[in-house]
Structure 1
Amino acid sequence: MTEDRQLNVVFIHPDLGIGGAERAVVDAALALKSSGHSVQFVTAHHDPSHCFEETRDGQLKITAVGDWLPRHVFGRCAALCAYIRMIYAAIYLVFFSDINPDIIFCDQISACIPFLRISRVKIIFYCHFPDLLLTQRQNMFKRLYRWPIDWLEEWTTGMAHCILVNSKFTAGVFKDTFKTLGHINPEVLYPIPNLSTLGKPVDPLPKSHCPPKETKTLFLSINRYERKKNLGLAIEGLAKLKESIPLYGIHLIMAGGYDERVTENKEHYLELKELAEKLGVQTHVSFIRSFSDSEKRSLLSNATSLIYTPDKEHFGIVPVEAMFMQCPVIAVRSGGPVETVDDKVTGFLCDPTPQSFSESMLYFVKNPNAKEEMGRAGKLRVIEKFSFQAFSRQLNNLIMELKFGKEK
């Protein structure tokens, strides 16, 4: 790349913590950096004790602004507060910073795009999933509160110069949800992890994370402690498995992203522990609240299979990471995993029921060689279809076309 083709790309993101959306934009930034571009983040919140390593170790420049603004008002209006915080970050970027971007990469909250458009810079909006589908409308107050926010989301999303989605599944939901944006065909950019990070040496598991010594079949769940992730299904599947065979030598680790600031994380963690006790499998389930990248590599390397429970998940980066680490995947047959997991080859796609999950879990118990066979197939699939190099090329071509137009 010649020097005049090196672009300054700024990512603007609401909360640069730990989650699938955060992993996606961090990997996008690393991909563009590997292509020779200058990249940095502007965010409303960044806690060095609760973030991805690349945002803490100096690989990526992070500017946090507006964290003094409230995240909610007496436990309510979280969406409105998130919009205000993101708009504040956009105003800072456009009017008060010395940053001169060529491309602005925005995600999650589109309400800031009208303010970003003032800069006359090309704007990419990455729609992980329409926000209006992520909340319930239980009463008239909530419906009235959400109506202008939902309208604003659709209107401002359409103001981006380029719209990306994380899967074909999300592309279909986008078209069905945003009726006034029927003229837009979002481009699919799978949020692929930086496989060089996953490829680092695997350290032994810390003693606090080790399953019982007699464990021969280790199931692993990795997801944030959020109710929408359907994590209880993994525990229920284990309890259903208990009806078929004794659980001696079988263990489930529930490893989840956990933030003390988030009430739901704390509540759901306790709910899951209570569920394990209620179903009588508490001695076969252990819980990990947050973990490092090194610990995640160790967990995936030692696991017999990943249990991935979200239903209609937009994409799901963890199954891809698991397959690269040669860990087969048991996932719900819907959403992103349908595009990433090759059923009966790199794992199993199941109905979202304890019975269906337990049948797949039983397969790994009775077939000890399945991990190795499916694991090899999974790593090959990731390298062929979801490599960091292919992701980098696609994203680089996209921003170059957006900035300079198509090459003749």
Structure 2
Amino acid sequence: MPEVVFLHPDLGIGGAERAVIDAALALKSKGHSVHFVTAHHDKSHCFQETKDGTLTVTSVGDWLPRHIFGHAHALCAYIRMIYAAIFLVFFSSLKFDVVFCDQISACIPVLRWSRAKILFYCHFPDMLLTARHTFLKKIYRAPIDWLEEKTTGMADCILVNSQFTAKIFKETFRSLHDVSPTVLYPIPDFSSFNLPSDPIDVDLIPTGTSTVFLSINRYERKKNLGLAISAFAKLKKQLPVSKKIHLIMAGGYDDRVLENKEHYLELNRLAQQLDVKESVTFLRSFTDSQKRMLLNHSTCLLYTPDREHFGIVPIEAMYMKCPVIAVKSGGPLETVVDGDTGYLCEQEPDSFAEAMKKFVDDVSLKDRLGKAGRKRVEEKFSFNAFTKQLNETVHNLLR
């Protein structure tokens, strides 16, 4: 069977990391040999499969800087990924037929020195993820943006995570007009979700709470998490004091990332200003069992990012029969069916609060929409279909 190496910049606990881990599990289930090479892997801050031996990981180049005095994060990330590729091709003893790389394409010219086929998974064009407010920033990003487009086109196969990303790919990489990326939805392995759920944790969900709203996302400003708190505050003002509602803000958090620390404090201050601090629980990172418990016992999920590339969390929530309220843009347009598995709203507190109130007024809504969500995931977003498509892609590459 083919041997596949996954080359990833930072094997933490984000959505991109979950996607490549599930891809590795999918190929491993088909008999492929899989191995991760990454610039950073902290066993105290990673997914279970990368620390319990399910997936083997080699970390190289973590001594290289992540930034230069708080700047040049992209340049440093590119250097770290290129260094990892140099190690893989010229110095490692690993055998590989296919390299699955994602997020940073700058390593592809190095990988082409090997005989392996190169599969690049584009979560979203990196050049669109950074603002260019100053002339110096534009000058700094120009060669990086050029390199991203040029090297992306050097992959033997390009996959994207949604129809939305495929459209953005074509609009952004103008020189790759003859390249048509294939959509491979990053569907998680739901086997862990089938395990028995833990009892309600009263430290997270207070006793007597009638309606529980849940947000799961990294503590990053682009995730628009303030929308969930603002909408919750508006809803709370509309309800009598006897209605006990609660909001749980569960987010990926990394002490090394300054934005995580800053935004966590910003959201706490927002909850204080809106006078809902006592009704909001902030959870920094969480275990798999906590995630199952939260999805199982929450009334619905609030998914706030605008123009999200795909969004794995809504899929996980629907599988757990937890309806989703999401911003009406990007990936959720492909996953959430408005009025059937949840609600698609404008990214405004009033719009979200209106949808949230439906679950307070009608206690049967969670069950009805939850069952429809589970059915949609099983029919449209199965891990078996994801595994089959990825396995065929690898075999077609080698032919």
TM superposition score normalised by structure 2? 0.99
The match for 2:281 among 279, 286, 289 is 286
Letter of the structure 2 residue corresponding to residue 239 of structure 1: A
Alignment check: 8 A CA contact 1:205 1:295 kept: no
The match for 2:380 among 379, 385, 393 is 385
The match for 1:370 among 356, 365, 373 is 365
Aligned partner of 1:101 in structure 2 is 96
Aligned partner of 1:3 in structure 2 is none
Q: Residues 207 and 215 from structure 1, CA distance in 2 versus in 1: closer, same or farther, beyond 3 angstroms? A: closer
| Superposition pairs of residues 238-387 of structure 1, within 5 angstroms | 238-246=232-240, 248-387=243-382
> How far apart, CA to CA, are the structure 2 residues paired with 1:350 and 1:279?
22
Aligned partner of 1:155 in structure 2 is 150
Letter of the structure 1 residue corresponding to residue 163 of structure 2: K
The match for 2:212 among 195, 210, 218 is 218
Aligned partner of 1:195 in structure 2 is 190
Alignment check: 8 A CA contact 2:299 2:323 kept: yes
Asked if residue 237 in structure 1 is aligned to residue 237 in structure 2, the reply is: no
Cα deviation code 1:141-182 (max 9, x no counterpart): 111000000000000000000000000000000000000001
Alignment check: 8 A CA contact 2:317 2:323 kept: yes
How much has 1:198 moved relative to structure 2? 1.4
| Aligned partner of residue 287 in structure 1, secondary structure | strand
Letter of the structure 2 residue corresponding to residue 212 of structure 1: P
How much has 1:120 moved relative to structure 2? 2.2
| Aligned partner of residue 314 in structure 2, secondary structure | helix
Gaps of 5+ in 1: 1-5
Asked if residue 185 in structure 1 is aligned to residue 180 in structure 2, the reply is: yes
How much has 1:369 moved relative to structure 2? 0.6
How much has 1:342 moved relative to structure 2? 1.0
TM superposition score normalised by structure 1? 0.97
> How far apart, CA to CA, are the structure 1 residues paired with 2:6 and 2:156?
15
Letter of the structure 2 residue corresponding to residue 240 of structure 1: K
User: Please, what is the CA RMSD of the aligned residues?
Assistant: 0.8
How much has 1:207 moved relative to structure 2? 4.3
Letter of the structure 2 residue corresponding to residue 399 of structure 1: V
Aligned partner of 1:167 in structure 2 is 162
Asked if residue 400 in structure 1 is aligned to residue 367 in structure 2, the reply is: no
How much has 1:213 moved relative to structure 2? 1.1
How much has 1:240 moved relative to structure 2? 1.4
Alignment check: 8 A CA contact 2:5 2:100 kept: yes
> How far apart, CA to CA, are the structure 2 residues paired with 1:135 and 1:124?
24
Cα deviation code 1:327-379 (max 9, x no counterpart): 00000010000100111111000010000000010000001011111111111
Letter of the structure 2 residue corresponding to residue 381 of structure 1: R
Alignment check: 8 A CA contact 2:97 2:115 kept: no
Letter of the structure 2 residue corresponding to residue 66 of structure 1: G
| Aligned partner of residue 349 in structure 1, secondary structure | strand
Residue identity over aligned pairs, in percent, reads: 66
Would you identify which runs of 4 or more consecutive aligned residues in structure 1 move more than 6 Å?
none
Aligned partner of 1:110 in structure 2 is 105
How much has 1:249 moved relative to structure 2? 0.9
| Aligned partner of residue 63 in structure 1, secondary structure | strand
Aligned residues: 398
Aligned partner of 1:37 in structure 2 is 32
More displaced stretch, 288-297 vs 240-249:
240-249
Cα deviation code 1:251-282 (max 9, x no counterpart): 00000000011000000000001001111111
> How far apart, CA to CA, are the structure 2 residues paired with 1:398 and 1:237?
43
> How far apart, CA to CA, are the structure 2 residues paired with 1:260 and 1:205?
28
> How far apart, CA to CA, are the structure 1 residues paired with 2:87 and 2:195?
37
Asked if residue 146 in structure 1 is aligned to residue 156 in structure 2, the reply is: no
> How far apart, CA to CA, are the structure 2 residues paired with 1:332 and 1:267?
24
Alignment check: 8 A CA contact 2:236 2:245 kept: no
> How far apart, CA to CA, are the structure 1 residues paired with 2:202 and 2:101?
40
| Aligned partner of residue 254 in structure 1, secondary structure | strand
Gaps of 5+ in 2: none
> How far apart, CA to CA, are the structure 2 residues paired with 1:324 and 1:353?
26
Asked if residue 23 in structure 1 is aligned to residue 35 in structure 2, the reply is: no
